[in-house]
C-alpha cells in the first residue's frame, strides 16, 4: 500500500515525506508540479517509491492505476500565493483538484488529510472554525474556504476519514524555494545575514510598527498533527492548526537575530537595543497588501485539543532557534 503526498516537493509536503521516512515509510508516491524545478531539492534526501505529476495523477486515479493500492492521501498541494490574481487558475488548482481527490477517496474508503488555511478568516478577529467568522480577503483564501464548505456538506455521510487543517503562519526548513511567499523567519534570517538588519512593516490595523501579530507555527508541529490524525482514523472535521498564541513580528525578528548572534557567541539583545542599533527598521506596506493584510491572527485550538491532540506546540523562541540552527548548518562548508 502506498502513502500519497501531494505537493510533495513543496514546503510542508517535503517535511511530511521526510518525517514518514523517519518512521520507516518509503512506499510513498510523491505528487507535485515541477514547473518550478528548484523544488526538486526538497526531495533529494527523501526516499520515495515514485514521482507523479499532479495532472497525470488524477488521470491515473480515474483509470484505476492505484485501485486498492493507496492507504492514505496527504493533500498538501496548492497554489499558496496570496497575491495571485488569476482566479480561474486558483479555483482550478486549489478547489476543483481537491474535490476530485476527495471524491476518489470517499469512493474507495481512503483517509484524506488536507491543507486548508487561516486565510479563510480574512481580517476577522475571531479564529474559530465556524462559518460566521470566515471572510477571506483574496481568491486564495476563498479557494480554501470553498473547499472547506464542500467538506462540511459531505462530512455527515463520509465513508472514510476526512480531516482539514487550517494552517496559520508556518515556518521551518525546506521553504527556500518559496521566494517572497516564504515565512518572515526566513526573510529575517536572510536579511540579517546579508545586511545586518531586518525590515518590518510600519504600523497597520491599529498596531504600532512591527507589532502586528500572527500565530506562527513550526512545520514540525504541522507534520506531527497530520501524522497523529492518520493514526487516529476516527477523527474527522476541520481544525485550526497553529499554536494558540499571537506573536508580534517584532518578537520574531528579535528571536531570529538573537539566534544568529548566539551561534556567533554574542549575547542576546532586547528589542529596544535592536531598534536603537538599527538592526530592526520599519518600511511602508506595499500598496498591493493595503486592505488585504491580516494584522492579527491567533488560532482557537479548542477543536483540535478536543479531538485528542494534546502535544504542546513549539514557542516562537524555541521554533525560530531550531530553524536558524538548521539554516546555519546548510551554510557550513560540506553541508
Neighbours of 127 (CB within 10 A): 25
Can 171 be counted among the known catalytic residues? no
Q: How many CA atoms lie within 13 A of 295 on its CB side?
A: 15
CA dihedral for 76, 78, 79, 85, sign (positive or negative): negative
Helices (H), 196-313: 219-230, 249-263, 271-276, 302-306
Can 145 be counted among the known catalytic residues? no
Which cell numbers hold the place of 116? 486548508
Check 114, 140, 167, 309 and give the catalytic one: 140
Check 51, 178, 292, 293 and give the catalytic one: 178
Using CB atoms within 10 Å of the CB of residue 27, give its burial: 0 to 12 exposed, 13 to 18 middle, 19+ buried: middle
Residue with cell 511602508: 284
Helices (H), 64-172: 87-90, 97-107, 139-154
Distance (Å) of CA 88 to CA 91, 95, 140, 142, 146: 5, 10, 11, 12, 14
Catalytic residues: 140, 178
Amino acid at each position: 500500500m502506498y502513502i500519497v503526498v501531494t505537493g510533495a516537493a513543496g514546503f510542508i509536503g517535503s517535511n511530511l515525506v521526510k518525517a514518514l521516512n523517519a518512521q520507516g515509510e518509503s512506499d510513498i508516491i510523491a505528487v507535485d508540479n515541477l514547473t518550478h524545478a528548484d523544488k526538486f531539492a526538497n526531495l533529494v534526501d527523501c526516499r520515495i517509491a515514485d514521482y507523479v505529476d499532479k495532472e497525470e495523477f488524477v488521470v491515473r486515479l480515474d483509470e484505476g492505476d492505484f485501485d486498492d493500492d493507496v492507504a492514505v492521501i496527504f493533500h498538501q498541494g496548492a497554489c499558496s500565493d496570496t497575491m495571485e490574481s488569476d482566479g480561474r487558475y486558483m479555483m482550478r488548482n486549489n478547489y476543483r483538484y481537491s474535490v476530485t481527490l476527495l471524491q476518489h477517496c470517499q469512493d474507495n474508503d481512503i483517509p484524506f488529510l488536507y491543507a486548508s488555511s487561516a486565510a479563510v478568516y480574512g481580517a476577522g478577529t475571531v479564529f474559530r472554525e465556524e462559518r460566521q467568522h470566515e471572510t477571506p480577503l483574496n481568491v486564495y483564501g476563498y479557494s480554501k474556504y470553498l473547499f472547506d464548505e464542500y467538506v462540511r456538506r459531505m462530512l455527515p455521510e463520509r465513508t472514510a476519514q476526512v480531516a482539514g487543517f487550517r494552517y496559520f503562519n508556518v515556518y521551518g526548513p525546506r521553504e527556500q524555494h518559496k521566494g517572497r511567499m516564504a515565512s518572515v523567519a526566513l526573510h529575517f534570517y536572510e536579511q540579517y545575514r546579508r545586511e545586518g538588519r531586518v525590515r518590518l512593516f510600519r504600523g497597520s490595523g491599529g498596531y504600532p510598527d512591527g507589532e502586528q501579530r500572527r500565530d506562527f507555527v513550526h512545520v514540525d508541529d504541522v507534520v506531527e498533527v497530520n501524522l497523529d490524525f492518520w493514526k487516529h482514523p476516527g477523527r474527522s472535521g476541520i481544525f485550526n492548526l497553529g499554536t494558540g498564541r499571537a506573536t508580534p513580528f517584532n518578537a520574531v525578528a528579535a528571536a531570529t537575530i538573537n539566534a544568529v548572534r548566539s551561534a556567533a557567541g554574542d549575547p542576546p539583545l532586547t528589542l529596544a537595543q535592536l531598534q536603537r542599533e538599527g538592526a530592526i527598521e520599519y518600511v511602508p506596506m506595499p500598496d498591493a497588501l493595503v486592505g488585504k493584510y491580516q494584522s492579527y491572527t491567533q488560532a482557537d485550538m479548542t477543536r483540535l485539543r478536543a479531538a485528542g491532540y494534546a502535544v504542546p506546540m513549539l514557542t516562537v523562541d524555541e521554533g525560530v532557534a531550531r530553524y536558524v540552527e538548521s539554516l546555519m548548518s546548510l551554510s557550513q562548508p560540506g553541508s
